Amino acid sequence: MIIVYILLLAVSGLFYIQYEGAISFYLFCFVAAYPLIFGTMTFIAKRKIKVSFEAKEISALKGENVPVNVIVDNKSRLPVPNCRITIRCSTEFNGDYEIININTPVFPNNTQVLTTGISYGHYGSIRLDITKVKISDILRIFKFKVKRKNMLHTTRLFIYPNHIPLENTINDYSELGLESESYSKSKSGDDPSEIFDLHNYKEGDKMSRIHWKLSAKQDDLMVKDYSLPITNGVLLAADLSHIGSSSEDLEKLDAVVDAMAAISLRLAESETVHTVIWDSSGTEDYGKAVISDFESYTTAVRRFISDGLKGTERSVCELIADISAGVPRFAHTIICTAGLSDEEKKALTDSGYSYRYTAIVASEAHEGYEEENFCFVPLAPGAVAESIEYIAI
């Protein structure tokens, strides 16, 4: 565009030479002063422009075309003919990224909403960064960058699992005597370590359950109702240690997430308390969530997607072996993974963390088999429900 300006300046100069007079003189002066006038206007406008994402977080399902809104706020009275917004979209699992550019004029004293569509075919989170905002005059001779302090320049897009309905049998592990950290909110039981409720004494109540301190302050005898422990018998573990960055590996990643989410949702819908763990850092820390209903399920999935879908070298089998004290904490441990070596299998089954173990492995190259306390289930990407429909949870 500088070439265009030079041509305009040359033409206006020739016009002034050929046709002397006020009009030709004023025209030449205007063209000559254009850089100073419009450069100053663009510089002033730059200081009054703010660019931000409308939301700090965006949720979507896999494959959806998600609208992402960018807000451009111009508090000056000067229009901006050209504004170029550069957005960097990067996946947090493997770091792949692409660049999106939005070009728009900016009107004076106006707030504009610009929408761009983003679609991602795998689970995880995408980080969106406004990396650069440039404005220029109509001939694009002068270009200025908007300062980063005038940009709310980061948001995250979370891709959540689709609902895969299961009808798998859910076992009752209440008679195994497993330790419980959860208690029923609607039924009383026989666990004296927690008090469920209090009621006035009635015939047949045990004398050992009378709350003597409270009864001394009341006119009636008060009796304690003990709590009912809820057995947390199932451990779900997600293992991403065998997943790389290739398209085939990402398909396995989706299958692992689908399997874990589908089993957890099946348990949550039946209000069966269970625990989910994942290792995303390769350190001693790991993610853990106790799920008892649909609300806690959605909260746990959000946590898992936001900080669990990252590459890790440590197998979740090693993690379980590290945190186990050799005493059964769960009745059934189910691992969803893209691979299982003999060493990992041995670490899992020797951990003593559960009475039985099931490995759901995203691989069509193996056949399923069962041993004394171990079950191997091949998981076909795209056919999750069919692959695990015969597992008794």
Q: Where are the domains of the chain?
A: 49-160, 181-230, 234-388
Q: What is the CATH number of domain 234-388?
A: 3.40.50.410
Rounded CA-CA distance 241/316 in Å is 8
Predicted confidence at residue 261, as pLDDT, reads 92
Return all residues near 236 (Cβ < 8 A) that are at least 6 apart.
260, 263, 264, 274, 275, 276, 277, 334, 336
Return all residues near 384 (Cβ < 8 A) that are at least 6 apart.
164, 255, 258, 259, 262
Asked if residue 128 lies in contact with residue 158, where contact means CB atoms within 8 angstroms, the answer is no
Predicted confidence at residue 69, as pLDDT, reads 92
Residues 153-197 pLDDT 10s: 788 888 888 888 888 888 877 665 555 555 555 555 555 555 555
Name the token pair of 320: 């379980």
- Its pTM stands at 0.73
Predicted confidence at residue 163, as pLDDT, reads 85
Residues 335-372 pLDDT 10s: 998 888 899 999 999 988 888 999 999 876 678 888 88
Backbone angles phi, psi at 9, to 5 degrees: -65, -40
The residues that bridge with 335 in the sheet, in sequence order, are: 237, 359
Rounded CA-CA distance 374/98 in Å is 43
The residues that bridge with 278 in the sheet, in sequence order, are: 238, 287
Q: Of 331, 385, 320, give the one whose Cα is nearest residue 354.
A: 331
Asked if residue 175 lies in contact with residue 188, where contact means CB atoms within 8 angstroms, the answer is no
CATH, domain 49-160, list 2.60.40.10, 3.40.50.2300, 3.40.50.1110, 3.90.550.10? 2.60.40.10
Inter-axis angle of helices 2-18 and 22-46, nearest 10: 160
Inter-axis angle of helices 316-323 and 342-349, nearest 10: 30
Helix or strand (DSSP H, E) at 302: helix 294-307
Predicted confidence at residue 142, as pLDDT, reads 79
What is the pLDDT tens value at each position of the chain, 393 positions in all?
666 666 766 766 666 566 766 777 666 667 666 777 777 888 888 888 888 898 888 888 887 888 999 999 998 888 888 899 999 988 877 777 889 999 999 998 999 999 988 888 888 888 899 988 998 887 777 788 887 776 667 888 888 888 888 888 888 776 655 555 555 555 555 555 555 556 666 776 666 666 656 666 677 777 666 555 556 688 999 888 888 777 788 888 888 999 999 999 999 888 788 889 887 665 557 888 888 888 889 989 888 887 767 767 788 888 888 888 777 888 899 999 888 889 999 999 998 888 899 999 987 667 888 888 899 999 888 888 888 888 888
Query: How close are the terminal C-alpha atoms of the chain, in Å?
Result: 68
Sign of CA dihedral 375, 378, 382, 385: negative
Inter-axis angle of helices 247-269 and 294-307, nearest 10: 160
